Amino acid sequence: MTKTLEQANLAQILRLEVPVVVRLGERTLDVGEVLSLVPGSIIELPKNAESELDLLVNNKPIGCGMAVKVGENFGLRLTYLGDLKSRIDAMGTGENSSASQSPPGTGSIFAKAV
Which of 110 and 73 is assigned the larger pLDDT? Answer: 73
Record the pTM.
0.68
- Report the C-alpha gap between 5 and 62 in whole angstroms: 30
Please report, for the chain, how many H helices and E strands are present, in that order: 3, 4
Which CA distances in Å does 74 have to 35, 77, 105?
Answer: 30, 10, 24
Chain segment 17-75, per-residue pLDDT in tens: 888 999 999 999 999 999 999 999 999 998 888 899 999 998 899 999 999 999 999 99
Decide if 80 contacts 59 (C-beta within 8 A).
Answer: no
Domains present along the chain, CATH in parentheses: 21-28+44-114 (2.30.330.10)
Q: How confident is the model at residue 5, as a pLDDT?
A: 79
- pLDDT bin (cut points 50, 70, 90) of residue 93 is low
pLDDT for the residue numbered 100: 42
Check residue 1 and give its pLDDT.
Answer: 62
Question: How many whole angstroms separate alpha carbon 88 and alpha carbon 4?
Answer: 23
Residue 108 is predicted with a pLDDT of 40
Q: Is pLDDT of 92 > 90?
A: no
